[in-house]
Structure formats: C-alpha cells, structure tokens
Chain A
C-alpha cells in the first residue's frame, strides 16, 4: 500500500467526520450539543493541518479554538441555559431565507475554488521546523516579514481586552463601596474615585 493511499483514506475519513459534526452543529436543538459538535469540527480541521505538515498551526488551532473559544462558548451556555431547554424550531420563512443564503455562499465559494489556479502553492515545500519559521517571519521587518501586522494585531487584542474589562466591570452604587471582602491586610474599604465629567453623576449629587 503506498503512502498516498493512506493519506487519501485519512483525508476522506476526516472530511466525512467534519461534515457530520458541522451539520450537527447547526441542527442540534440543545445549544451545548451544538458547541460540542463545533469543538469536534475545530479539532478535525487541526487534523487537516497536520496532514498538510503544518503541525504548529494544528497545535495553535486546538489551543486557541478548543481550549479558548469553545470553552468560553460553553461557559456562556452554562450560565444562561439548562439541560431541559430546547431551541425553538425556526419558522418556514427563516428556513427558506437561510437555505437561500447557504446556497448563494456555496455557489460563490465553489466558483472561486473552481476558477482559481492554485499551482503556486502545490510545489512549496513546508519548512522542517514550522514553529521556528513562523516565529522568524512574524518578527522580521524585511520584505518577507510580518512585524507590522503582528504588532497591529497585538494592539487590537489589547484594545479588546481593555474594552472587555470596561464592559464587564460593574460600577458599584455609591452606598456600597467596592471592597475586596476585607481580607487584604490594612484594607478597610475602597471608594472608587468620582468621575470628573459625568453629567448624570454630577446632577444627582448636586
């Protein structure tokens, strides 16, 4: 049995399972089951990356999408719904519109893939140590480097982080000062500083 045959069998097996779980993701009526099916889709796409000799990308895929994003999705579902809750079946009109959008997207994607010539990518050999090559490319400021997009993305992530904290942080009512529960040494209470340009707060105090 040649190596190509093993790879082809693996590819179709992973592809079939991916399709199965992708369909389960959108048809499951329990939200958490949909999230679990989504997790399997993401893990299986990591399998594709391994077959393309991009092991580092596969590792990051599992690390970010399964260990991060799916876990957060599961958290949100756990906080907001229970086992007994089923999603409502969508009305016919919404189903029809959804099918139309899906067919349109499939047609566009298929057209792009069928008309594009991917010859250039076929003969590019993957580097032996992909992690090293990716790291060097990300921090290289030469013609083949990506240091500017890398830094811009890190700025974007930082902004998202600060924004997330700002949204999630509750500002306590003035009657209840923010404390840490009183078990930090020397801490009695902490009153958040009043904001200067707060028209509502200023009006209520005046």
Chain B
C-alpha cells in the first residue's frame, strides 16, 4: 500500500500497549506494597476527579447549549461567560438544608442516592479513556457494563418508593419499567460488537478496531447497532425524549421530588455522569474508543493519524456524542408512556434481534472489511 504514502516504508502501525492502573498495582504488589498502594490511591483520585470535573463541565455545557438552542445566552454572570455558575450552584446545593420527609422510609431514603451514584462510579472504573488511563480492565467487561447498568435502577426505584409520595412513586415505577425494557435493546446492540471483536474485554474491543472502527467496518449492521444503542441508552439514562420518569408537567420532578441538598446533588450528578458514560461507551464500542482513525493497510495514513494522542481521540468522540444527546433534549418532545413501550418492544427489539442475526452471518462468512487482521 505504499502507493498512498512513502512514509509507509518507515512507519509500522503503532502498537498500543494497555496498562491499567489496577494492573500496575498488581504488578507492583510482590515488590513493594507502598508502590502498589500508591497506584490504588492514584486510581481513586483519578475516579473522584473525573466524577467531579466532568459533572461540573457537563452541567455548564448543558445550560449553555440549551441557551443557544433557544436563542439565549445561557449563564453569563458568574465568571467570564458564566463558567463558574456550576461551582456557585454546587456550593448552594451543599449548604442547603438536607431533610427527610416525615412519612418516608428513612433508611432507604438516605441509601437510595448513594446506590445510584455507586453504580455510576463502578462504571467509570472500567471506562477506557486511553491506553494508560483506565482504572481497571476485566475480562468480562461487557457483562460488567450491562450488570452495573441494571444495578443503577435500584437507586431510582428505592428513592421513589421511600419518599412516600405518589408522584415520586409513579416516577420510580416508570423509570424502572423504562430502564429494564431498554436494557434489552442496548445489550443486543452491544452483543453485535462482541461478535465482531470476539472478546468481552473493553481494551480488547478497542484494540480490535485497529484496522477501522466497527461502525463502518461492519457494513450496515454496525450502523444499525450504533443507532439502537444510542436510542436505548438515552432511554436508560432518562434523558429527553425519554424523561417520562421525571416529566415535570405531570409528576413534579418524579422520583427525586422529595430530595434536596446533597442527596439531590447525588442523583443529579449520577444522571449527568451517566450521560458521559453512555457517550463514552458508545464511542468505545462503535467509534473505536481511543483508537485513532485507521484504515487497514494504509500504514502511512494510519501513522499520521497516530500523531494525535489516543486520549484526544476519545475526548473528541465522546464530546461529539454528548453534544448529540444534548441536541436530542432540545429537539424532541417527550414521548408518552405507551409510545415509549411500543418503541422498545415492537420496533427496537425485533430490529435488534434481526440485526444480531445478520451480524452473526457477517462474522461467520468474514464479510466485513479487513477480516484477516
């Protein structure tokens, strides 16, 4: 393929070696306990920083984007272009009175926001941001992602029920029905990628896209799976047009009506980080994650693409997808409950099954681009 570029002669495709923080800690353990503990500490600091900073940035961006979509300016007063608005709001939320309603189930009311945030943190742990920026990598990656997403619904269900308020309760029931329905379609879409990559490990899935991202390499099935995944996971995180669980015109604020102060902030933060996670996982599974844009065989082109660091690729893809999800919110009206159920069970699910079958055929006969490598 040196026809395309003379650089192909010198530049072999860059090989990415994945080193997660957990594996570094495990390697260091026999030698020095201190070094291992430092890596674990680094991982914890990294996850907490990621959680806090991404939350701050996304909430600011959401408000700015909402403003511009509606021909407004969005927050402008606190700091230049209002960049400290979220910081001010966070301080306000933290000093606000944090109360538990009188008739509530107090234990569960306190525990519920922690469950929601725990599920989100557990997912951040496995998200591969670059070959060296991933806290842990498991050989059951995709199963882990699906399992923890199902775990997250418990926080919402418990929060709504323990508030002892009919709006919270109806919101929680809707959220539960919605999340466990759309989980099926999201999983079917992920299985397509598992079929192509032949592994459940997230870093392995990213590395399997070294010759091209699955969205275009797998012909049509990759595109269909990507669209199903984005729709289903938008529903799973209760974003508009699937914000039926907290539809403010019907249910006050749904499952978090009775929450205030820091525990409301937990639900809110979990919701925004979940949006980041959905965008990050969609980028990882379908757009190659941190893998630069490669075309199998065009080594010169690929090595030019490698000049952009892997983390920047991930950031760019994830930002684009986050913007897409925010764009949904300010474009589509909210679905009705029955429309939401019909979309899942009568449209997405059958399409997902047919697509999975088609993907199996494509893999079986090696019909996708660059099957040899």
Instruction: Mark A residues whose CB is within 8 Å of B.
Output: 1, 3, 30, 32-33, 36, 39, 43, 55-56, 58-60, 62-63, 66-68, 70-71, 74-75, 77-79, 82-84, 128-131, 181
Q: Does B200 contact A (CB under 8 A)?
A: yes
Cβ-neighbour of A56 out of B103, B143, B146, B161 (below 8 A): B143
Using A63-B143, A67-B183 as known contacts, say yes or no to A32 and B148 having CB atoms under 8 A apart.
no
CA distance A131 to B105 in the complex (A): 40
CA distance A181 to B339 in the complex (A): 11
Using A67-B153, A68-B150 as known contacts, say yes or no to A181 and B338 having CB atoms under 8 A apart.
yes
Using A39-B154, A83-B105, A83-B164 as known contacts, say yes or no to A74 and B176 having CB atoms under 8 A apart.
yes
Instruction: Give chain A nearest CB distance to B200 CB in angstroms.
Output: 6
| Residue contact B161 to A84, C-beta cutoff 8 Å | no
Contacts of A74 in B (CB 8 A): 154, 157-158, 161, 176
Using A71-B157, A78-B169, A129-B139 as known contacts, say yes or no to A62 and B147 having CB atoms under 8 A apart.
yes
| Total count of chain B residues near the partner, CB < 8 A | 34
Instruction: Give chain B nearest CB distance to A24 CB in angstroms.
Output: 11
| Closest partner residue, chain B, to A62 (CB atom) | B147
CA distance A67 to B139 in the complex (A): 20
CA distance A181 to B341 in the complex (A): 13
| Residue contact B164 to A62, C-beta cutoff 8 Å | no
Query: Interface on chain A toward B: helix, strand, loop, or mixed SS?
Result: helix
CA distance A180 to B157 in the complex (A): 28
| Residue contact B139 to A131, C-beta cutoff 8 Å | yes
Query: Top 5 nearest A-B pairs by Cβ distance?
Result: A67-B150, A59-B143, A62-B147, A63-B147, A83-B164
Which of chain B's residues 25-44 have a Cβ closer than 8 Å to chain A?
29, 33
Contacts of B157 in A (CB 8 A): 71, 74-75, 78
CA distance A129 to B201 in the complex (A): 10
Contacts of A56 in B (CB 8 A): 139-140, 143
Q: Does B151 contact A (CB under 8 A)?
A: yes
Contacts of A130 in B (CB 8 A): 139-140
Q: Does B15 contact A (CB under 8 A)?
A: no
Q: Does B324 contact A (CB under 8 A)?
A: no
Q: Does B56 contact A (CB under 8 A)?
A: no
CA distance A36 to B155 in the complex (A): 10
Q: Does B316 contact A (CB under 8 A)?
A: no
Cβ-neighbour of B104 out of A63, A67, A83 (below 8 A): A83
CA distance A43 to B122 in the complex (A): 13
Instruction: Give chain A nearest CB distance to B233 CB in angstroms.
Output: 15
Q: Does B111 contact A (CB under 8 A)?
A: yes
| Residue contact A67 to B147, C-beta cutoff 8 Å | yes
| Residue contact B107 to A55, C-beta cutoff 8 Å | no
Which of chain B's residues 206-241 have a Cβ closer than 8 Å to chain A?
none
| Residue contact A71 to B139, C-beta cutoff 8 Å | no
Q: Does B76 contact A (CB under 8 A)?
A: no
